[in-house]
C-alpha cells in the first residue's frame, strides 16, 4: 500500500505542484504576520513606528534563519527515511529534533531579550524609532520557543509530504493576528509592542495545532512525549546537513542587517520605504523558496527510494514552475509598485523610496529560481556545504564589497536594489557550475546503488 505523502511515483509535475501550492499559501500567510504588523502600525501609529518594525525585521530573520536551516537538515533526514520506509529511524529522528528545538528555543529567547537593545544600537537605528524597535524586538524574541518548535514540527510534516495541515493552521492564526493587531495596537494603544504581542500569541497557537497533528497521527511519524530523547548519531546527521544551511541563512541575515545600516543612514522615511519594499521582495521570493522546499523533499524521498531519474525530472519541473510564477508576480509588482507601497504609508517620500527599490529588483528574480532549486536538490543529497558557500560568497562577501565601494561614491538608495540583483545572478552561476560539473547524482547512484529488483 502506497504511503500518504510519498512522492516516489506518479506524475512529477503533479506531485511537486500539489505539494508546493499549500507551501506557497502557507508561507504567504506566514509573511502576512509581519506585513499586517507593518500595515496596522504604519496606519495607526505612524511612519516612525513603521520604521521601528522595519529595522527589527532583519534581526527577526536572523533569529529564524539558523533554526530553519537546522529544520532543513531534519527534513532531509526524515524524508530519506520515509522514502526508504525505515520507520524506526524516522521516528527516532523526529523525537530527537523536537526535543532539540525545545532546548534551542529557550536559549534563543533568553539571549534575544538580553541583547536586543545592543543589536539595534549597533545597526545605527534612527533615534526617533529606537525605543519602539526595542519593545517590538524584545517581545518577539521572548516568543522564540514558539518559532523553533513550529519550524521543527512543520519541517517534519513537510518531509513526509504533508504541506496541507501547516497551511490550515497558518490561515487560522493569520486571521487571528489581524484582530489581535487591531485590538492591541488600535484599541489598547500599545504601539509596536502590541503588534509583537499579537504575533507571538498567534505563533503559540500555531505550535499547539502543529504538535497536536503530530501527536494524533496514526502513522510512523506520530509524536509521543514519552519518546522525546536525543539520539546522538541521528542528531549528528541532522546537524551535519542542517548547520551549513543554518549558517548560510544566519550569515546572509547578518549581511542584511549590515545593509539595513546603509539604509538607516538615509533617515526614517527611507528605512520605512525599504521595509515596505522588503515585504514585496519576500512575497515575490516566496514561491522560489517554496519550490526549493518542494524539490528538497521530493529529492530526499526519491534518493531514499533510489529513483535517480525522477530527481532530474523533478528539478526541471521545479525550475519551470518557479520561473513562471515569479515572472508573473514580478510583472504585477513592477507595474503597481507605487500603490502597493502605499498600502504601508501615505508618506510620499516613503512610497518613492520603496517603489524605486522594488522596481530595480523585479527583473532579476528568475536567477534566484535557478540558485534556490539547484540548492534544494543538493541539500537533499547531503551536500549542503555547496549552497552555503555559493550563497555566502554572493549574498555576503560580494554584496558587501559592492556596497562598501559604491555607496560612498554615489550615495544612492537604489544601489541597495542593484546589490541584491547582481548577487542573485552570481549565486545562480556559482551553484550551477557545481550542479552540472560535479556529477553529484552519479556519485549517489554509485554509493547507494539502484532499488532492489532493478538492473
pLDDT tens digits, 103-115: 988 988 898 888 8
Is the model's pLDDT at 321 over the cut of 90?
yes
Query: Among 35-39, 105-109, 169-173, 293-297, where is mean pLDDT lowest?
Result: 35-39
Task: Give the three cell numbers for residue 161.
Answer: 509530504
What mean pLDDT, rounded, does the chain reach? 85
| Residue 33 pLDDT grade (very low, low, confident, very high; cuts 50, 70, 90) | low
Residue range 183-197: mean pLDDT, rounded: 82
Q: Angle CA(185)–CA(64)–CA(181) in degrees, nearest 5?
A: 10
| Residue 46 pLDDT grade (very low, low, confident, very high; cuts 50, 70, 90) | low
Say if CB 82 and CB 7 are below 8 A apart.
no
Is the model's pLDDT at 27 over the cut of 90?
no
Cα distance between residue 58 and residue 63, in whole Å: 9
pLDDT tens digits, 151-163: 889 888 888 888 8
The number of C-alpha atoms within 13 Å of 155 and in the hemisphere containing its C-beta is: 28
pLDDT the model gives residue 450: 62
User: 517603489: which residue's cell?
Assistant: 355
pLDDT the model gives residue 318: 96
pLDDT tens digits, 86-97: 888 888 889 999
pLDDT the model gives residue 5: 61
Say if CB 141 and CB 112 are below 8 A apart.
yes
End-to-end CA distance of the chain: 24
Higher pLDDT, 454 or 202: 202
Residue range 409-438: mean pLDDT, rounded: 93
Residue range 402-425: mean pLDDT, rounded: 92
pLDDT the model gives residue 133: 80
Query: Nearest to residue 123, comparing CAs of 68, 170, 57?
Result: 57
pLDDT the model gives residue 87: 85
Is the model's pLDDT at 74 over the cut of 90?
no
Amino acid at each position: 500500500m502506497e504511503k500518504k505523502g510519498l512522492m516516489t511515483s506518479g506524475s512529477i509535475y503533479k506531485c511537486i505542484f500539489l505539494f508546493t501550492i499549500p507551501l506557497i499559501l502557507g508561507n504567504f500567510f506566514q509573511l502576512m504576520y509581519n506585513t499586517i504588523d507593518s500595515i496596522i502600525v504604519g496606519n495607526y501609529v505612524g511612519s516612525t513606528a513603521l520604521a521601528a518594525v522595519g529595522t527589527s525585521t532583519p534581526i527577526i530573520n536572523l533569529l529564524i534563519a539558523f533554526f530553519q536551516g537546522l529544520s532543513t537538515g531534519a527534513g532531509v533526514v526524515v524524508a530519506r527515511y520515509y522514502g526508504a520506509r525505515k520507520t524506526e529511524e524516522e521516528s527516532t529522528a523526529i523525537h530527537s529534533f523536537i526535543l532539540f528545538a525545545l532546548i534551542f528555543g529557550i536559549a534563543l529567547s533568553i539571549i534575544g531579550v538580553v541583547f536586543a537593545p545592543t543589536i539595534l544600537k549597533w545597526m545605527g537605528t534612527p533615534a526617533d524609532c529606537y525605543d519602539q524597535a526595542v519593545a517590538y524586538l524584545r517581545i518577539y524574541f521572548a516568543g522564540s520557543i514558539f518559532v523553533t518548535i513550529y519550524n521543527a514540527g512543520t519541517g517534519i510534516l513537510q518531509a513526509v509530504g504533508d504541506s496541507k495541515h501547516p497551511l490550515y493552521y497558518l490561515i487560522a492564526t493569520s486571521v487571528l493576528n489581524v484582530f489581535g493587531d487591531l485590538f492591541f495596537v488600535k484599541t489598547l494603544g500599545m504601539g509596536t509592542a502590541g503588534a509583537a504581542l499579537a504575533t507571538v500569541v498567534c505563533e503559540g497557537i500555531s505550535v499547539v495545532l502543529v504538535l497536536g497533528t503530530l501527536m494524533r497521527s496514526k502513522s510512523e511519524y506520530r509524536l509521543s512525549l514519552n519518546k522525546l530523547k536525543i539520539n546522538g548519531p541521528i542528531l549528528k546527521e541532522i546537524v551535519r546537513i542542517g548547520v551549513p544551511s543554518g549558517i548560510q541563512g544566519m550569515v546572509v541575515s547578518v549581511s542584511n542587517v549590515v545593509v539595513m545600516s546603509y539604509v538607516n543612514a538615509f533617515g526614517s522615511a527611507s528605512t520605512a520605504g525599504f521595509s515596505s519594499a522588503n515585504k514585496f521582495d519576500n512575497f515575490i521570493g516566496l514561491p522560489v523558496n517554496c519550490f526549493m522546499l518542494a524539490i528538497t523533499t521530493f529529492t530526499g524521498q526519491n534518493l531514499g527510494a533510489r529513483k535517480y531519474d525522477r530527481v532530474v525530472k523533478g528539478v526541471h519541473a521545479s525550475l519551470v514552475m518557479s520561473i513562471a510564477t515569479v515572472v508573473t508576480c514580478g510583472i504585477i509588482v513592477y507595474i503597481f509598485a507605487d500603490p502597493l507601497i502605499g498600502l504601508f504609508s501615505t508618506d510620499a517620500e516613503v512610497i518613492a523610496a520603496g517603489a524605486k527599490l522594488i522596481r530595480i529588483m523585479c527583473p532579476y528574480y528568475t536567477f534566484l529560481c535557478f540558485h534556490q532549486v539547484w540548492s534544494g536538490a543538493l541539500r537533499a543529497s547531503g551536500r549542503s556545504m555547496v549552497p552555503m558557500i555559493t550563497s555566502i560568497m554572493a549574498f555576503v562577501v560580494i554584496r558587501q564589497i559592492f556596497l562598501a565601494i559604491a555607496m560612498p561614491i554615489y550615495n544612492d538608495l537604489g544601489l541597495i536594489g542593484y546589490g541584491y540583483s547582481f548577487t542573485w545572478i552570481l549565486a545562480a552561476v556559482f551553484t550551477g557550475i557545481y550542479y552540472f560539473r560535479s556529477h553529484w547524482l552519479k556519485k549517489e547512484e554509485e554509493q547507494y546503488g539502484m532499488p532492489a529488483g532493478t538492473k
